[in-house]
Amino acid sequence: MAHDGGRPARTFISYAHDNPEHRSLVREFWFFLRKSGLDAWSDFESAERRLEWPRTMESELARAEFILIIASPEYRRRAAADRPPGEIVGRGVEYESAFIRDRIYHDRHRWFARVLPVVLPGGSTDDLPEFLLPRTSTVYRVTDFSVAGAKGLLRVLTDQPSEIAPPIGEPPFLAPLPAPGDQPSEIAPPIGKPPFPPPLPAPGDQRARLADDLVAQLRELPAMETAQTKAHFHAMIAGRLPVAPVASGDQDTDRFLRHLVTGLTEVPNGLWTLSGTVHFLHPDQPVDVEVRRLVEAFLRGP
């Protein structure tokens, strides 16, 4: 997979010529990256050409989207900030590491995540330079030159993370606790006796029978045990609606429920909110299933 707009990610490999064995290992790694769909650059492809190496390194580093620093004892020694003055070391690593440090210093937000410490097979994190923070930041270990052996590094270079955050959903409705005493929560309107109670459906009407059945089901809820729990039940419903349903201030449970059910028929989505509140309190229990059935039948009409 390409990293940016269908184009393979340009990747610069920075390493030290410790010995022929290490150089051969880095060369094999370079081949592996290119076979894995990455536009990886190293000095192997330019070794015999006459070049001005500082200019070449600057040009390739400027083009790079990622910089891979390969751990080795010589890389750590040559990139160290505390080398003895005048010590002769491989000037390529000395120059590259200074350039890379400057880039991180100038734009840390971008480049700290794109300068990747890499430990090849047989290597050690102890051989990474200190400016990469090898003990407190991510290090990419390549156990062998295969997808499985380099999966973490390949995921970053090809922009294929193993975890993608799911979309943020709606927060759940969490009913407030009732205030001390016999009062509903502060965020719910107080339950008062309406001056003109809404009329109940006419006797004998199918909707009246369904309303009676709904009241009978709701009467069995634990929330109907006391005036305080009834007030809390009303507050839960009211908190989920744009208009608070009317409810009787009477202590009688049947009267309270009849006015609540009838009032909810006058509020958009009122009965569905009643059913949803019962489901929230008693999910998939018989009362939940029966209340949902009765509400559906009531709203369907004759």
Which long-range contacts (C-beta less than 8 Å, at least 24 apart) are formed by 150-156?
150/32, 150/36, 153/68, 153/116, 153/118, 154/36, 156/66, 156/116
> Confidence band (pLDDT; 50, 70, 90) for 5?
low
Q: 95-136: per-residue pLDDT in tens?
A: 888 889 988 888 888 888 899 999 999 999 999 999 999 999
196 token code pair: 């003109």
- Please report the pLDDT score of residue 259 as a whole number: 84
Two structure tokens written together for 189: 């309107």
DSSP string, 79-127: H-TTPPTT----HHHHHHHHHHHHHHHH-HHHHTTTEEEEE-TT--GGG
> Is the predicted pLDDT of residue 294 greater than 60, yes or no?
yes
pLDDT, position 200: 45
- The CA distances from residue 192 to 106, 109, 224, 259, 270, in Å, are 66, 58, 17, 12, 18
Helix (H, G, I), strand (E, B) or coil at 7: strand
Quote the CA–CA distance of 9 and 2 in Å, as a whole number.
7
Q: How far is CA 90 from the centre of its chain?
A: 45
Spatial contact of 270 and 241, defined as CB atoms under 8 Å apart: yes
CATH of domain 10-157: 3.40.50.11530
| pTM, 2 dp | 0.55
**Of 212 and 84, the one with more pLDDT:** 212
Q: Strand order in 39-41's β-sheet?
A: 39-41, 10-14, 66-70, 115-119, 140-141
Residue with token string 């390409």:
2
| Banded pLDDT at 157 (limits 50, 70, 90) | very high
Give the C-alpha separation, 123 to 21, whole Å.
Answer: 12
pLDDT at 281 (0 to 100):
86
Q: What is the DSSP string of 177-206?
A: PPBTTTB--TTSPP----SSPPPPPPTT-H
Q: What is the pLDDT of residues 75-94, one digit of tens each?
A: 999 888 666 565 556 677 88
- The domain spans of the chain are 10-157, 206-300
**C-beta of residue 185 within 8 angstroms of C-beta of residue 232:** yes
Span 49-58, pLDDT tens digits: 777 777 888 8
Calculate mean pLDDT across residues 133-161.
94
pLDDT of residue 81: 67
Tell me the mean pLDDT in the region 265-271: 82
Q: How far apart are CA 33 and CA 177, in angstroms?
A: 59
